[in-house]
Amino acid sequence: MKPVTSKQKGELTPYLIIIILCSVILVGAVVFKPSTPDAPSLQFGRITLPNTCIFRATTGLPCPGCGLTRSIVAAAHGHLAVSFSHHRLGLLTLIYVILQFVFNLSYISIAKWRVPLSRFIKLLHKGLIILAVLFFLNWILTLTLIFT
């Protein structure tokens, strides 16, 4: 196996950053305990974490991501109905994070797969734009339901 050059390390840095970010999200989703009707906040062991949303605290309205963390944690623990009740796009976001993690880790780990994987990774990046649009539309729907 050839040693990795500094140029190659620089080219792999964005992939490493994505892997680290996805790892933090995935580990957090597994480590935190999902909220329940009895305990609406996430728990870390016996510590209950506060629901903090600066947008909601200042405006009284939910932001586009309100409930997303609780939704991802519930989905990671297999509570899909609870996940959907916290945020409509939580499960989709979790799937997106898993795909980013797998494809970027494969890109770094298996050099001969880099060309075909780069196509899928570019598609995933375009998928982020679609996910952002879905978040905006979901937010509009949520606000519409609040005001009607």
In a domain, 6, yes or no: no
Residue-range definition of the domain harbouring residue 47: 13-147
Give the C-alpha separation, 56 to 46, whole Å.
26
Does position 39 have pLDDT exceeding 80, yes or no?
no
Average pLDDT over residues 84-90: 94
Give the C-alpha separation, 83 to 35, whole Å.
10
In a domain, 3, yes or no: no
Does position 79 have pLDDT exceeding 60, yes or no?
yes
pLDDT value at position 69? 93
Give the chain as a 3 state SS string: CCCCCHHHHHHHHHHHHHHHHHHHHHHHHHHCECCCCCCCCCEECCEECCCCCHHHHHHCCCCCCCCHHHHHHHHHCCCHHHHHHHCCCHHHHHHHHHHHHHHHHHHHHCHHHHHHHHHHHHHHHHHHHHHHHHHHHHHHHHHHHHHC
pTM reported for the whole predicted model: 0.87
Count of domains for the chain: 1
| 123 phi and psi angles, rounded to 5 deg | -65, -40
In a domain, 130, yes or no: yes
Whole-number average pLDDT of the chain: 90
Dihedral in degrees, nearest 10, Cα atoms 6, 11, 13, 17: -170
In a domain, 36, yes or no: yes
Condensed to tens digits (0 to 9), the pLDDT of residues 103-147 reads 999 999 999 999 999 999 999 999 999 999 999 999 999 999 999
